[in-house]
Structure 1
């Protein structure tokens, strides 16, 4: 849904119904001056122009500017046009919240906040799902069961009317609900229910037979006749607005399905829509909430204990952070490479938590109680081997942070892991290692990490200073940086002209000439130890080497 559009909602959907449906806390009620039973007749995304009415709508205030008056102005404008509620982003500070609350109180309009971990798409999905759930009818026993007892009750009621066995599955073929299984149930049904999902071999068989393609595209009930030990089956997709949410399967269970089974299955599929929407919303909400919690732990933001609780991790468990960073973010297959690394990190480590964003994958890995770092180093080695084996993949560096006694200190390990990656890149760029490392822990590149920390601390001092060295660096970088590179090689080889010239692929006399120019043109004395120290820092901070 794009900003400036209205999503239709059924009549008689109240704010109370929306909030009771919101099990994951996507929305938080801040104020409801007229109560929670106010009806919501539509969803308005953003601003639609001064002439467009918002009668009975709930307004999602997307794209608000950060100034404090914007939220209160949005609330007043929504109320003026007839809206009954406004949703703001979770406020970053109290002033905006207090001004918006005062405006809502004055205008008599409900005010809600969208959770920080969610996005506007999650809020729209919630409102859409809640509206669908509230619209479930009360015209027959099946609808009553669906509304009051959930998918399990719907499966039981449908099975009774179909005279068969019912399974409700999502698009990943996971079993969300099923009716009771009789003694004559076939082996595939028993295996599916016991395993909680359709076996892979069965999915492959259905794909080869063309049944899955028919299910994905058909609007009607699909009939599959009995064959061998496999009984007669009816299958129907569960859809909303053309979007596939899952499927219902009816299998004959020791008797023939009822003559009206296809009609029963169609009604059941319509009643299953809000339940499958809720399943999808809960699943996506869990993913977003865990990503928000892990991001908070790694960056040291928010309530660290609450983040650990969201991730299902103990605050007493030692952990280490492993970070994989790709070299060329826009290189061929680079995003696919990181996805593969993320899967590898969790494949055999159920306690690992992975955050994949932009050009990196970060793994929070609980380790054994003695705080041994070997587990994290093993993971880094596995990720490195996988990345190296992916054809045409951009290079990836993997850094391991120090083991910390608790996930509450994960940000420290994350910071170190990123420094290890910087150290690996730095050493490779300067030709420090004959065979460049692609993964390491802090003990492998300790001196380089210390140097990087010192350089970070020295940068503000350097950038605010003036003098001959500053003049030299600025002038030479403007003309290509040859002199800076020559100085770097000279300093790194402790003044050994021949070795430095060999690194630069120059004749020693050419290097001598360049060094003589630093004295003659800029008045820099390379024999002075303080000058050499400032030059060493300056050439590293220049970014040329």
Structure 2
């Protein structure tokens, strides 16, 4: 199939006398001719990575390439380092299959040249139709099996794992770790289609970095899942390194997108095999949610490293609030004037009640520290010498952070 597409793109380029590039309907590169003319960074990146960036995709869509039935001339864009182009949409029975692109930096490509180029397009539309059909069927089977691994019953998950192995989608079963890439929406917005394209591109790029047959991926509405499958072998990146690569790739892909404020990547614990991946996925998703609520944890958050937030995040659906853990602390949280007292208390409890270490961390005189702690005791009606009270106060502070009722300035 790729040989047929290569023959067609070479024929198109020869007819026009300039390089040509073919993309599928998702603007992923499927074939390109030899390039000996003007080339911009967008074309270079497309060839090297077999895909373009979400910003460029969004720009071309604004130019109307998705709805076009005739060639579209797109202007240059200095901000994207994009030269002027001619885009010829390829359709089969009105179904959009892909695009043929020509760089036309000097505007010398005439309508007659474009008409000359369209001679092989009947063959091209049929070739792209077959490629899309076969690709979609394989992709749908993999997507459905991966979805089954993450949401269905044990029996269904075991059947899906066997199917993925028998079809050669994954090389081996074994230790499986889930990563969740979470899109944190900008205020008042939801992740749009361009953001989801960026998310899928980051997942696919990371799969290629590790090995396509050692990974699976799935895109939901606001997050993506990457399953790293099979026992770890020498030379394969650790889950933490993989999460770092995914985070960096996704952060770069979504930079500047108006619907995305930031991204968080969660890491689950390893499980024995694909059929148990759901447990790692749930942990990774919960880690990502906690990271969304608490930016101070960083962009990559592991379930194993959540500490007390592992427990509190699982109680989130139990209608547990700060007042239920320590009513006195809830009174302090209601008044912003007590913020400095709360921060002092949290530092003191984080350091296991070590007054010397707390004073050093907060750069306070010991007398000032003791005064603040005494004020906490008075206002919250508590006794910091009581171990149970200290435990309840500490839990209430962390729960306040997780629910957004307590934020440091």
TM-score by length of 1: 0.44
* 1:217 alignment partner, SS class: coil
Distance 1:477 1:278, change over 3 A: farther
In 1, distance between residues paired with 2:139 and 2:301?
Answer: 29
Partner of 2:33: 201
Report the CA distance between 1:204 and its aligned residue.
8.7
Instruction: Select between 341-350 and 313-322 the one with higher mean Cα deviation.
Output: 313-322
- The 5 A counterparts of 1:430-509 are 438-439=299-300, 446=304, 448-456=305-313, 463=320, 470-480=326-336, 482=339, 483-497=341-355, 499-500=357-358, 503=361
Partner of 1:408: 275
2:181 paired with 1:319: no
Q: Quick check: 1:371–1:405 contact (8 Å CA) kept in 2?
A: no
Higher RCO (CA-CA < 8 Å; seq separation 6+)? 2
Please give the per-residue CA displacement for 1:473-530, whole angstroms capped at 9, x wherever unaligned: 3323322361433321221123344644565576765654443333333421111111
Aligned with residue 354 of structure 1, among 212, 217, 222:
217
Partner of 2:56: none
Q: Quick check: 2:267–2:284 contact (8 Å CA) kept in 1?
A: yes
Q: Quick check: 1:323–1:398 contact (8 Å CA) kept in 2?
A: yes
Please give the per-residue CA displacement for 1:36-62, whole angstroms capped at 9, x wherever unaligned: xxxxxxxxxxxxxxxxxxxxxxxxxxx
Distance 1:460 1:472, change over 3 A: farther
Aligned with residue 240 of structure 1, among 93, 113, 128:
93
2:239 paired with 1:376: yes
In 1, distance between residues paired with 2:184 and 2:360?
Answer: 28
Structure ranking higher in helix proportion: 2
Distance 1:501 1:407, change over 3 A: same
Stretches of structure 1 that go unaligned for 5 or more consecutive residues are: 1-151, 153-166, 176-191, 219-234, 248-261, 431-435
- The 5 A counterparts of 1:22-101 are none
Partner of 2:393: 535
Distance 1:299 1:387, change over 3 A: same
Distance 1:461 1:406, change over 3 A: closer
Q: Quick check: 1:401–1:416 contact (8 Å CA) kept in 2?
A: yes
Partner of 2:230: 367
Q: Quick check: 2:329–2:380 contact (8 Å CA) kept in 1?
A: no
Please give the per-residue CA displacement for 1:331-368, whole angstroms capped at 9, x wherever unaligned: 99965653442232122422122223344332112234
2:203 paired with 1:342: yes
Distance 1:454 1:381, change over 3 A: closer
Distance 1:465 1:484, change over 3 A: closer
In 1, distance between residues paired with 2:70 and 2:359?
Answer: 69
Distance 1:376 1:451, change over 3 A: same
Partner of 1:291: 143
Stretches of structure 2 that go unaligned for 5 or more consecutive residues are: 9-21, 23-28, 41-64, 72-87, 100-114
Distance 1:327 1:510, change over 3 A: farther
Report the CA distance between 1:385 and its aligned residue.
4.5
Count matched residues.
311
Partner of 2:62: none
In 1, distance between residues paired with 2:282 and 2:235?
Answer: 19
Q: Quick check: 2:172–2:230 contact (8 Å CA) kept in 1?
A: no
Partner of 2:45: none
- The 5 A counterparts of 1:143-292 are 199-202=31-34, 217=70, 238-241=91-94, 243-245=95-97, 280=132, 283-284=135-136, 286-292=138-144
Report the CA distance between 1:405 and its aligned residue.
2.8
Partner of 1:307: 160
2:376 paired with 1:518: yes
Q: Quick check: 1:315–1:408 contact (8 Å CA) kept in 2?
A: no
Please give the per-residue CA displacement for 1:30-87, whole angstroms capped at 9, x wherever unaligned: xxxxxxxxxxxxxxxxxxxxxxxxxxxxxxxxxxxxxxxxxxxxxxxxxxxxxxxxxx
